[in-house]
Amino acid sequence: MTVPTIALNDGTQIPQLGFGVFLVDPDDTERIVSDALEAGYRHIDTAAGYNNEEGVGRAIAASGLSRDEIYVTTKLKNDDQGAKTAPIALQRSLDNLGLEQVDLYLIHWPTPAKDLYVETWKALEELRAAGKTRSIGVSNFMVPHLERLLAETDTIPAVNQIELHPYHQQPAVTAFGNEHGIATEAWGPLGQAKYPLLELPEITAVAAAHGKSPAQVVLRWHIQQGNIVFPKSNSRARIAENFDLFDFELSQTEQSSITDLERAGRVGGDPNVVN
């Protein structure tokens, strides 16, 4: 099964479906990522703050896959923002992953009270030029944060990874991204089980119509929205199920019925106050 790719604004390609390891226990990470790679995933999303980069690296090394077959994202910890500390932090992540280069490096949060994200972004520009990462992007940036980056630096982020699920679709942020060529990545694509998304009739009716699970329907909605998405699971069966999204398609009516669930229902941290 071939996963579609999204063309980024720097000329690179990113698999639209990946596997996330947020809250995956470091002791279990190698096994779980190995299961994901065996299921067909070729895009792994981790972060220094997840404390499981080493397990991701071991799974990649043991997979038998060549480096260019696997797309690897990691993220800069909030405490490592700054012109001097960001390069050290990326090298630490590379050492943890056992890699010479990541495919995508993100500022994890804007942390506006620290007011370091502009100088940090300039450091990421230099890290990309040095070949430490192929692409650079941001995570949890709102429109004012993005506007400032575009005004004060030379590089438009390749992606913005944001909380995005049917109750919280961030239309202003995604519209800004579309206008400026910033691809949208959805974290928490299933709402992190913090509301009964998979039990909503708008979801279960579509699932029944296609003979798919409610989770598959929501993930397919993301794919058709154009989002880059990376569900996570500790279950080998669920990992495989979440990958099985490309043998059905939602109708425009079905797609719209899910989009209409929007209610600004954030379930994660607010980027304006996380510091």
**Structure-block tokens of residue 183:** 């691809």
- CA 256/CA 209 separation, integer angstroms: 15
Taking the alpha carbons at both ends of the chain, their separation in whole angstroms is: 40
Q: Is 50 a catalytic residue?
A: yes
User: For residue 224, what are the CA distances in angstroms to 145, 231, 258?
Assistant: 27, 15, 11
Which listed residue (50, 71, 105, 117) is catalytic? 50
Q: State residue 70 phi and psi, 5-degree precision.
A: -120, 130
Please report how many Cα atoms fall inside a 13 Å half-sphere around the Cα of residue 95, on the Cβ side: 6
Residue the block writes with tokens 């607010």? 270
C-alpha to C-alpha distance for 10 and 226, rounded to whole angstroms: 18
Q: Is 191 exposed, middle or buried (0-12, 13-18, 19+ CB in 10 A)?
A: buried
| Full DSSP string of 215-266 | HHHHHHHHHHHT-EE----S-HHHHHHHH--SS----HHHHHHHHTT-----
Q: What is the DSSP letter of 69?
A: G
Catalogue the active-site residues: 50
